[in-house]
Structure 1
């Protein structure tokens, strides 16, 4: 086979291989090597009779030039690809870091939604379940222990409580000193917000029993209030600090319902509006209480408590 039948494309695999290293200098080096190799062969063929060399020297110089131009283009592609990959990796790392860091202060669902810029800053009107949890006699209890022990105690109680809330698809929106506000249905929709909040409450009380068995001293009691209805969910605050929260009469009533546990000597109260969304079997676990007036409202409210459960 004569040398002139070996076209520049015969070196394409080497150039393609150099692109895989994603470095411009490797592609340029490959082009220089190929150009030198073809230049050496041309010089050898030019001075060797019967080598089969055809064409003018300028044709082969043009061919070598094309090889080097191709190498430069390949190097540009390699550099662009590397930059895109590095940017994607940096974005992924920064996103994961932000999610992990931000997720320590809000729920992972809220953190994910913030990162995706899916929040409505004007607020969305939604139907959701609201759960308020309060640690009973916290002030008296915390006065008998050190501040460090108080923080450790809160972290323990909130630890198993939040775990059950999130396991049922709820989101702890904010901690309120000796309690917290949880939402079922925001920022992500929930198929059965009240039933899920009821299940979470029952699991929290079971975890509390285990906590009290292992704990020395007097047992700890919790109070939970659940309500369901319309509310506005969105981001409020300033440019420097913003917070995702829920606002509305439903949230206020849920807080009042939790406080009514002290009046009825109960540990869990659910509004009639919330009970209406439950299945018959779930409703059978609850007993209605007489209509009660709540602070700040003129109308009365019917709430349900657990059936056959000792008072807290």
Structure 2
């Protein structure tokens, strides 16, 4: 059975819209910043280049003045947009799509108007359409990819192509003197071709924008998967296990796995709870389980259930371990040592813990409904671990394990001893028990 996220379609849609809108604002700001930088660079380059040639040209030629004015104003305009997005991202919950179309149209129209004004300085006005400033159209088209919308990029390319073609046709018709051998001065065909290229550039930019959007969506979905896994397992899972699960794309199939199970019980917890306030009880539980969780994470285990006066811990699922019994025994001994240290240092009320450990085959997977699911471990190994833990009171011990566990581990504590064969409630066959502490 596949690992399914409760309400994923609804939750992911909401999560994606929210995160994508944030990315949308960032990309718009990035686009405005790039354009502001490009136009500012153009201002510096224009001043430097033409002053090196002849500084008098720069001040008195209307062509250069008009082009410089355009570059300065556009640089300020884009810088203002960049600043707005930097300061106003939180103020606007969603950036309207029509604003992108309007902004694109305004930018292109300003360029077209500037080209028209510059054309007055040419003896043959149509030649302005093959001058370097016309390449600015491509800046707007290329950077439209940052708007993450195919329609906006297509609109930008189409508007650039149509405005370019319209101005070209107007200037050719307006021109009185034609150069006999200059095809650019008397034929509209080269400008139709260039207009078509601009439109195709818009289509290409739209395709790139769509691919960027898909990669962002995939990234957001992966982030949501991580969040879902973290919400499902909370602080029960060690970071190493989380990473393995994420590497498996959050797919956890129901299957049989070899696991070791520990049941931990706080002895006489009920008496403590009866004599103390709810706040004191919760504080005690948090301190106790804080110790347990840290140790379990260290040994790559999972706390499947918090039981109030104890917990159930699993080693070997959902991520398999080479020797789950070894991890379980080491974790149990560490828990016992840390609880004793906490008792001696007054970090928690005087606490005695009992633990029972069993190793064996279990069925692992999610159980529940579409709205709520829980990762679960089921099988005789779980029942036997719980029954073994309950025998600690009878044998005045702290850690009891089955013979199967002892057979799996590389070494047992020095003070360990064989208890003998016992009959567990609800289990037909007797099992051999060892006391490790």
Smaller-chain TM-score range?
0.7 to 0.9
Partner of 2:357: 226
Alignment pair present for 1:87 and 2:217: yes
CA contact (8 A) 1:160 1:204 kept: yes
Matches for 1:55-134 after TM superposition, within 5 Å: 57-104=187-234, 107=237, 109=241, 112=245, 116=249, 118-120=251-253, 123-134=254-265
How far is the alpha carbon of 1:203 from its aligned partner?
A: 1.5
Alignment CA distance shift 1:86-1:51 (3 Å) = farther
Alignment CA distance shift 1:86-1:278 (3 Å) = closer
Task: Please identify which structure carries the higher helix content.
Answer: 2
Q: Please, which of 262, 267, 273 is the counterpart of residue 393 of structure 2?
A: 262
CA distances 1:93-144 after superposition (whole Å, capped 9, x unpaired): 4334334433427536479479945233xx4222211111111100011111
CA contact (8 A) 2:142 2:205 kept: no
| Structure 1 alignment gaps of length 5 or more | none
The TM-score with structure 1 as length reference comes to 0.80
How far is the alpha carbon of 1:197 from its aligned partner?
A: 0.9
Alignment pair present for 1:305 and 2:430: no
Cα distance in 1 for residues equivalent to 2:242 and 2:400: 27
Secondary structure in 2 aligned to 1:21?
helix
How far is the alpha carbon of 1:290 from its aligned partner?
A: 2.4
Matches for 1:142-181 after TM superposition, within 5 Å: 142-181=273-312
Cα distance in 2 for residues equivalent to 1:37 and 1:284: 94
Secondary structure in 1 aligned to 2:343?
helix
How far is the alpha carbon of 1:28 from its aligned partner?
A: 4.9
Alignment pair present for 1:272 and 2:403: yes
CA contact (8 A) 1:34 1:67 kept: no
Alignment pair present for 1:207 and 2:338: yes
Cα distance in 2 for residues equivalent to 1:255 and 1:40: 89
CA contact (8 A) 1:272 1:302 kept: yes
Task: Please identify which structure carries the higher strand content.
Answer: 1
The TM-score with structure 2 as length reference comes to 0.59
Cα distance in 2 for residues equivalent to 1:165 and 1:46: 88
Cα distance in 1 for residues equivalent to 2:260 and 2:304: 12
How far is the alpha carbon of 1:41 from its aligned partner?
A: 7.9
How far is the alpha carbon of 1:59 from its aligned partner?
A: 1.7
Alignment pair present for 1:139 and 2:270: yes
Cα distance in 1 for residues equivalent to 2:258 and 2:227: 32
CA contact (8 A) 1:15 1:71 kept: no
Q: Please, which of 352, 360, 366 is the counterpart of residue 235 of structure 1?
A: 366
How far is the alpha carbon of 1:30 from its aligned partner?
A: 5.1
CA distances 1:132-171 after superposition (whole Å, capped 9, x unpaired): 1111100011111111221221111111102111210111
Secondary structure in 1 aligned to 2:321?
coil
Alignment pair present for 1:18 and 2:143: yes
Alignment CA distance shift 1:21-1:50 (3 Å) = farther
How far is the alpha carbon of 1:45 from its aligned partner?
A: 8.4
Deviates more, 1:30-39 or 1:59-68: 30-39
Higher relative contact order (CA 8 A, sep 6+): 1
How far is the alpha carbon of 1:16 from its aligned partner?
A: 6.7
Partner of 2:46: none
Cα distance in 2 for residues equivalent to 1:103 and 1:142: 27
Cα distance in 1 for residues equivalent to 2:354 and 2:404: 19
Deviates more, 1:27-36 or 1:258-267: 27-36
**Cα RMSD (Å):** 3.5
Q: Please, which of 370, 381, 384 is the counterpart of residue 250 of structure 1?
A: 381
